[in-house]
Amino acid sequence: MLIDLIISADDIKKEKLIDKTVVVIDMLRATSVITTALANGCNGVIPVLTIEEALAIAGEEREKYILGGERKALKIEGFDFSNSPLDYIKENVEGKTLVITTSNGTRAIKGSEGARNILIGAMINAKAVAKRILELNNDVVIVNAGTLGEFSMDDFICGGYIIDHITKEIEVDLTDIAATAHYIYTNNEDIISFIKYARHYKRIMELGLNDDLEYCCSKDCVDIVPEYNEGKIS
């Protein structure tokens, strides 16, 4: 099994994804939100690129949907919830379909179309993602969403953590970038000691989102692997 890694949504090269297992990571916070919502009984998640698309989908039968996401890390006007995973508790999401649009994560998911499987990964479900990767037994490309088209430390170390789970089970080939992500994780198992240097981290702290951060860094606390297929994650 070969594991490669793409450092941001803007750096996706489609030809690298064909026939591969892709894991999309936007741990702060889109893929943590999606994973949490589905674990709490949400029917499914529809990632869209624009606010207009989200409103159009929910428009017909508004009560069946919840609208979530962010622009510049803040809640979108007219939406039900922001991009905080802590909003996506059972009483808010059960039996509903979440339509989500975010600056980075949804773009990385849509940009990964063409892969054989598209898994949604975060720190909170890393172990479950690794287990699913082993079941699929296919070459892997980890797609980091990054932040505004740039490499982001938090997604990178999260990729390294998923790789760490896999290397504990089987021998794998790692590209240099995947090996570097793994190196970073093994030297920073507490996560925060590394991502405190990230620009995005500073923004999160400025916005007072410490609780989100703590939750998003909680390893393996959710045992599901969302998978994107034909426009919907379930």
Number of Cβ within 10 Å of residue 86's Cβ equals 17
Alpha-carbon distance of 234 to 149, in angstroms, equals 26
Nearest CB to a second copy, comparing residues 127 and 182: 182
Three-class SS state of 99? strand
167 belongs to the binding site for a second copy (CB under 8 A): no
Among 95, 171, 197, 206, binds a second copy (CB under 8 A): 197
Which structure tokens are listed for 135? Answer: 């079941």
Shortest gap between Cβ of 33 and a second copy (angstroms)? 21
180 belongs to the binding site for a second copy (CB under 8 A): yes
Stretch that binds a second copy, among 88-96, 112-120, 134-142, 179-187 (CB under 8 A): 179-187
Stretch that binds a second copy, among 33-41, 94-102, 180-188, 205-213 (CB under 8 A): 180-188
Task: State the virtual CA torsion across 89, 157, 154, 17 in degrees, nearest 10.
Answer: -80
78: left (phi over 0), alpha (psi -120 to 50) or beta: left
Stretch that binds a second copy, among 28-36, 51-59, 131-139, 146-154 (CB under 8 A): 146-154
Nearest CB to a second copy, comparing residues 187 and 234: 187
Question: Which parts of 34-53 interact with a second copy (CB under 8 A)?
Answer: none
Question: What's the first-to-final CA gap in the chain, in angstroms?
Answer: 26
Stretch that binds a second copy, among 32-40, 61-69, 120-128, 183-191 (CB under 8 A): 183-191
Nearest CB to a second copy, comparing residues 9 and 184: 184
CA 72 to chain CA mean position, Å: 17
CA-based R_g, the chain, Å = 16
11 belongs to the binding site for a second copy (CB under 8 A): yes
Alpha-carbon distance of 74 to 70, in angstroms, equals 5
Which structure tokens are listed for 213? Answer: 């951060």
Alpha-carbon distance of 89 to 86, in angstroms, equals 7
Stretch that binds a second copy, among 33-41, 84-92, 151-159, 211-219 (CB under 8 A): 151-159
187 belongs to the binding site for a second copy (CB under 8 A): yes
**Residue whose pair of structure tokens reads 């170390």 in the numeric block:** 157
Q: Which residues make up the interface to a second copy (CB under 8 A)?
A: 7, 11, 147, 150-153, 156, 175-177, 179-180, 183-184, 187, 194, 197-200
